[in-house]
Amino acid sequence: MSPPRLFDRSLLARRLDRAAKGFAQASFLRERAIEDLIHSLSGINRHFDVALEIGARDGAFGRELTASPAASKIGVLIESDLSERFSPRLVMDEEQLPFGDESLNLVVSTLALHTANDLPGVMVQIRRALKPDGLFIASLFGGETLKELRGCLMEAELEIRGGYGPRVAPFAEGPDLIDLLRRTGFNMPVVDSDRVVVSYEHPLKLMADLRAMGESNILIDRPRKGLNRAILARASELYFERFADDEGRIAATFEIITLSGWKPHESQQKPLRPGSARMRLADALGVKEGKI
């Protein structure tokens, strides 16, 4: 059976095309995820001859990598993206990887895979494309992301229209991703969560940032009626009532989940029994923790 299609991928491509020119103005979350990923790679005593980046967007990972100690650990970095407007080295849909078996040593991705319709299928393709003892490490938005906005929009639309449609996408939960790494054939699976609370002067500023990130609604079952002024006004009222601080600024939660796994190789330690993979990311990657 084919997995359910949650996301309109052609719409995602158009939204990314639109966001490409001003992407840097709202890339603060991605910069944080990139910094964490490079820090992890810097401590791994391994050289990766060929690496693929999924969802390279404006190339920030490659630029930051070049200026970091991790640069010497990667031979060739193939930057790919769904949108050609970002001018990636390879225009590619991550749901259909154009790589042969055992052709890559490393696959990385920052805040791109949460819009895959078939994330298990994507991860199986990644595992097949990796050479034995190859590493997959990625970050994506988790279940706590935009919980405040989701609730306020839902309640406001219910009050004014008497019904509501999904305005914010569902996001994966950490325990589910641990299980998913195992089921798709990765050894030493690890998941870490970073909860980031961002302060905004108004909910409309938050929505503007989401558009700039290319993260506006691409659900296939999204409502065909847009958000009118009355709904936006009521949602903003609810947001200020429930989530404003003493200075009148509202909070928006983003959960950044980092997951990693290694393609099996005989030199690796034996996998832990189901339910016991609760080590820290730094331990699994063999890095020493320190302050950046």
Q: What is the pLDDT of residues 3-22, one digit of tens each?
A: 788 999 999 999 999 999 99
Q: Structure pTM? A: 0.89
Provide the CA 227 distance to its chain's centre, in angstroms.
26
DSSP collapsed to 3 states, 45-113: CCCEEEEEEECCCCCHHHHHHHCCHHHHHEEEEEEEECCHHHCCCEECCCCCCCCCCCCEEEEEEECCH
- What's phi and psi for 249, nearest 5 deg? -100, 145
Query: What is the rounded distance in angstroms from the CA atom of residue 236 to the CA atom of residue 32?
Result: 27
Q: What is the pLDDT of residues 58-103, one digit of tens each?
A: 999 999 999 999 999 999 999 999 999 999 999 999 999 999 999 9
What structural domains and CATH numbers belong to the chain?
A: 9-146+170-195+257-285 (3.40.50.150)
Q: What is the pLDDT of residues 172-224, one digit of tens each?
A: 999 999 999 999 999 999 999 999 999 999 999 999 999 999 999 999 998 88
How many residues are listed for the chain in this entry? 292
